[in-house]
Amino acid sequence: MDRMIKILALQALSVMIIASFSCSPGKGDGEITAGPEDRVITDMKGNRVVVSKKLERVALLGGPTGQIAYILGAQERLCAVTGSIATSELIRIFDPSIASRPTVRTVSGSVNVEELIKSNAQLVIAGDTDGEIVRSKTGIAVAYFDDSIGDRVEAIKKEIMFYASVFEAEKRGEAYNNYLDSMIAFINERISSIPVNKRKVIYNGYNSNHLVTLGGDTFMQERIELAGCLNAAKEIGTSSKQEGLHSGLGEVSMELVLKWNPDIIVIDMGSLEELKNDSRWASIKAVKNGEVYTQPAGAFIWDRPTAEAAVLHPLWMAMTAYPEKFRDISFRKEIKRFYKEIFGFNLTDKHARMIEEGSFRAKIMKGAKSQ
Amino acid sequence: MTIPRQGRIRLVLSLLVILVSIISLMTGQMYIPPLTIIKIIASNFIPLTPDWSPTVESVIMNVRLPRLAAGLLVGAGLSISGASFQGLFRNPLVSPHILGVAAGAGFGAALGILMSDSLVVIQISAFLFGMISVAAAYLLSRVYHTSPVLMLVLAGIIVGSLFSALTSFLKYIADPMNRMPAIVFWLMGSLNNVTGKDLLYVGPVFAACITALLLIRWRINVLSMGEEDAKAMGVNTELTGAVIIVCATVITAAAVCISGIIGWIGLVIPHIGRLLVGPDHRYLLPVSLLVGAGYLVAVDTIARSIMVVEVPIGILTALIGAPFFAILLRKNRPGW
């Protein structure tokens, strides 16, 4: 009996010891030894990470955040990137070299460790899952971004400033944040006088069946409200992971969309004609009034919490819903101004048109194949 | 005069299917009273002044009715194919997917999703590859001359694995943000995408194949006694087998192309049928058809009602069906 208790106690102890070693990612690094050539940065989880003062080779393993390097003018220092940024058609036009950077990650949890080591990165910036893989398999320093909150406007601004501190590009980070703030203020100034009962209901119908949407508990709720509109899917929650769909997305039934009867429908796949000729959709206000649109897409798809979409997507929705309030504004000009001032990309009229029409989306979607 | 037991069971099941169908039309994200439903449907044939909103009309005519019809057809088709296959292969573990049709159609759908945004293209591609995979399995089984039934099952497994691997490959190279999730989601099965137009094309196909299977159902009895005996009784086993395979394959491929892959139905509904009327295929096929139709409609009604977001029906068919089947097995031990 005594023996049993002893064995059990030993087992419990060993479990505790193992647990204490393997506890939450990025915690408990112990003392930090920073040499004269080093500096210390604080990541978004509050960890202090030592990096060289000459930080020239950084691997970005974030999905939608890959474009931040361009906003900060730090693209030359990327030594390895994630798939969605390397295959972005718009980015490739203005930085052809991105296509030749090693792609060391496709989705969360799938990191090509050998390729990452070969890229000789000094620092990896990643979310929890990817960061843990890199930590456990390589000796490369990892700074974590917070992928649990990387959603709403305030979180995006915080994230930008974190990346800015890594790349020592605080000025450009602030420039982006100011741009974002003034855009939100501008839209608000134009739409704030619209009474709540006159605000238009937007339904985002994604996927080829147009029945996948972002609910009231996602970043899209805030984005639609910033545009002075109402989210048809406000009452439903989609932020939990649904098997087979990207996080935040949920599929609803056709009759729910009929019940919502939105004023505006925005799709991302398929043709507008096909939807307009489908009898199931015919009784909806948006279809009757011809208010069905394809969502624009730039460096990345806009139904994600990216830096570009945070600025331009609410403007596009507001201009689409209330064109009479924005008669003096050209959306394509706004596109060109944003990418020039923030990304340093000189878009042609054709590029701006392609963004507005969403034609880059098809290329983003098919990008992974053409690799 | 009393109705014989077989007839009674069929009558009760038919009434149940009708009852489930009516409940299905009434329930969903909004309740619609039966009288309104009748008026809406009647207004298509006789002039009536609508006292209902166009939204309600659209929900009934464009969403619930097509979905109900699709549920009835897919449920009936999959169960009758399953029952026929189980007889043909003399094996209770066989489902209509055994010859690789689901794997082939799944690959076709994945290919369609990669190549195109259009639902129609995805459906046609799914149907074609479902047929191709079974044709391949059939031809492969002809290469060897021993025990045709066994070879057919093996060939089906070979072709099925090949197409599953190809589907996995497509998922691997597909864009992980949109296309890959779309493929996974599609493979889980749902009646959410059914339109009236789909039924116009697919409905007659279902009807023709189901009728064909019902017409030759007594021959399945003969086949299930074994090939030698069947031949001795003068039944052309090859031809009958081929007809069953073609009908069941067309049904399954058509089902997959409008609803994705819905498992469990084709495998287990025939067993429930057998518990009710025994192993005689003359009775088993009609009963399986009714049980399958009612079951899928019931489950689909739950799938679109319990949560505001759609629950993939493939999950529910198994989740509800499995315990139910276990209880039935416990109650009366079926003879196979």
CATH number reported for the structural domain that contains residue A217 in this entry: 3.40.50.1980
For helices B5-26 and B34-42, angle between their N-to-C axes, nearest 10 degrees: 90
Task: Look up the CATH number of the domain holding residue B222.
Answer: 1.10.3470.10
Is B95 part of a structural domain of the chain? yes
Strand partners, A297: A301
Greatest CA separation for chain A: 86
pLDDT score at A370: 34
Distance, in Å, from the CA atom of A116 to the CA atom of A106, rounded to the nearest integer, reads: 13
**CA B227 to mean position of chain CA atoms:** 27
Q: How confident is the model at residue A24 (pLDDT cuts 50, 70, 90)?
A: very low
- A300, A241: one domain: yes
Q: Which residues pair with A213 in a beta bridge?
A: A250
- ipTM value for the complex: 0.72
In a domain, A107, yes or no: yes
One domain for residues A201 and A166: no
Q: Please indicate, yes or no, whether residues A118 and A243 belong to a single structural domain of this protein.
A: no
B162-186 pLDDT, tens digit per residue, is 999 999 898 878 766 667 777 887 7
Residue A227 burial class via C-beta count within 10 angstroms: exposed 0-12, middle 13-18, buried 19 and up: buried
CB contact under 8 A, B63 and A83: no
CB contact under 8 Å between B184 and A243, yes or no, is yes
pLDDT of residue B257: 85
DSSP state of B309: B
Surface of B (72-111) touching A: CB under 8 A: none
The verdict on A168 and A209 lying in the same domain is no
What is the Cα–Cα distance from B268 to B145, expressed in whole angstroms?
Answer: 31
Average pLDDT over residues A217-242: 86
The per-residue pLDDT for A22 is: 47
Q: Which of B177, B186, B199, B305 to mutate to test the interface with A (most CBs of A within 10 A)?
A: B177
B37: which chain A residues are within 8 Å (Cβ-Cβ)? none
Mean pLDDT of A37-53: 89
Closest CA–CA distance from residue B84 to any residue of chain A (Å)? 33
Of A113, A141, A173, which marks where a domain is finished?
A173
Spell out which residues of chain A touch residue B308, defining contact as CB-CB under 8 Å. 235-236, 252, 256
Confidence band for A19, pLDDT divided at 50, 70 and 90: low
SS (H, E, C) chain A: CHHHHHHHHHHHHHHHHHHHHCCCCCCCCCCCCCCCCEEEEECCCCCEEEEECCCCCEEECCCHHHHHHHHCCCHHHEEEEEHHHHCCHHHHHHCHHHHHCCEEECCCCCECHHHHHHCCCCEEEECHHHHHHHHHHCCCEEEECCCCCCCCHHHHHHHHHHHHHHHCCHHHHHHHHHHHHHHHHHHHHHHCCCCHHHCCEEEEEECCCCCEEECCCCHHHHHHHHCCCEECCCCCCCCCCCCCCCCCEEEECHHHHHHHCCCEEEECCCCHHHHHCCCCCCCCHHHHCCCEEECCECCCECCCCCHHHHHHHHHHHHHHHCHHHHCCCCHHHHHHHHHHHHHCCCCCHHHHHHHHHCHHHHHHHHHHHHC
A123 and A236, same domain (yes or no) = no
Rounded Cα gap, residues B296 and A244, in angstroms? 22
Query: Does B158 map to a domain?
Result: yes
User: In whole angstroms, what is the distance from residue B331 CA to residue B323 CA?
Assistant: 12
Location of structure tokens 């109705």: B3
Give the span between the Cα atoms of B24 and B8, in whole angstroms.
24
- pLDDT tens profile A251-265: 888 889 999 999 999
Specify if B112 maps to a domain: yes
> How many angstroms separate the Cα of A59 from the Cα of each of A26, A78, A159, A257, A361?
17, 6, 16, 42, 25
Establish, for the pair of chains A and B, how many residue pairs have beta carbons separated by less than 8 Å.
Answer: 130
Distance CA A170, CA A161 (A): 7
**Taking CA atoms, what residue in B is nearest to A304?**
B177
Mean pLDDT in residue range A317-338? 96
Residue B309's pLDDT is: 76
Answer yes or no: are the C-beta atoms of B217 and B280 closer than 8 Å: no
Predicted pLDDT at B68: 94
Tell me the per-residue pLDDT of A134-175, one tens digit each, with 9 for 90 and over. 998 888 999 998 765 446 888 889 889 999 999 999 999 999
For residues A3 and A217, the model is more confident at: A217
- Please write the tens of the pLDDT for every residue from A121-136: 999 999 888 888 999 8
Q: Domain range for residue A328? A: 194-356
CB B76 within 8 A of CB B292: yes
What is the pLDDT at residue A13? 59
What residue ranges of chain B have pLDDT lower than 50? 1
Give B-chain residues touching A283 at CB under 8 angstroms.
54-55, 57-58, 62
Q: Å from B193 to nearest chain A CA?
A: 6
A229 lies in the same domain as A169: no
Q: What is the pLDDT of residue A149?
A: 43
Q: Which of A208, A235, A258 shows the shortest C-beta gap to B59?
A: A258
Asked whether residue A63 is domain-assigned, the answer is yes
Distance CA B89, CA B158 (A): 17
Are A106 and A215 within one domain?
A: no
Quick check: helix, strand or coil at residue B205?
Answer: helix
**Separation in Å, CA of A334 to nearest CA in chain B:** 27
Q: What percent of chain A has pLDDT over 70?
A: 84
Q: A48 forms bridges with which residues in the sheet?
A: A42
- pLDDT bracket for residue A300 (50, 70, 90): confident
**pLDDT (0 to 100) of residue A311:** 95
Residues of B whose CB is below 8 A from A366? 175
pTM of the model: 0.78
Beta bridge partners of A212: A206, A251
Query: Which residue on chain A is closest to B189 by alpha carbon?
Result: A244
CB spacing of B309 vs A235 below 8 angstroms? no
Query: Is B176 close to A211, i.e. CB distance below 8 A?
Result: no
Q: Cβ contacts (< 8 Å) between B59 and chain A: which residues? A: 255, 258-259
- A106 in the same domain as A233: no
Q: Are residues A200 and A272 in the same domain?
A: yes
- Asked if B175 lies within 8 A of A236 by C-beta distance, the reply is no
Nearest Cβ partner of A244 from B122, B185, B308?
A: B185
Q: 24-43 in B: which are within 8 Å (CB) of A?
A: 28-30
Write out pLDDT tens, residues A49-75: 998 888 999 999 876 667 889 999 998
Residue at B282 is within a domain? no
> Is residue B268 domain-resident?
no
Q: Residues of A with CB below 8 A from B174's CB? A: 368-369
Better pLDDT: A22 or B94:
B94
Q: Per-residue pLDDT averaged across A4-14, rounded?
A: 62
Same domain? A167 vs A200: no
- Alpha-carbon span A143 to B299, nearest angstrom: 47
Domain that holds residue B149: 79-262
Quick one: tokens of B18? 């009708």
Q: How many domains does chain B have?
A: 1
Q: How many domains does chain A have?
A: 2
Contact flag B312-A243 (C-beta cutoff 8 Å):
yes
* A147 in a structural domain: yes
Query: Do the chains contact at A280 and B309, CB–CB below 8 Å?
Result: no
pLDDT over 60 (residue A25): no
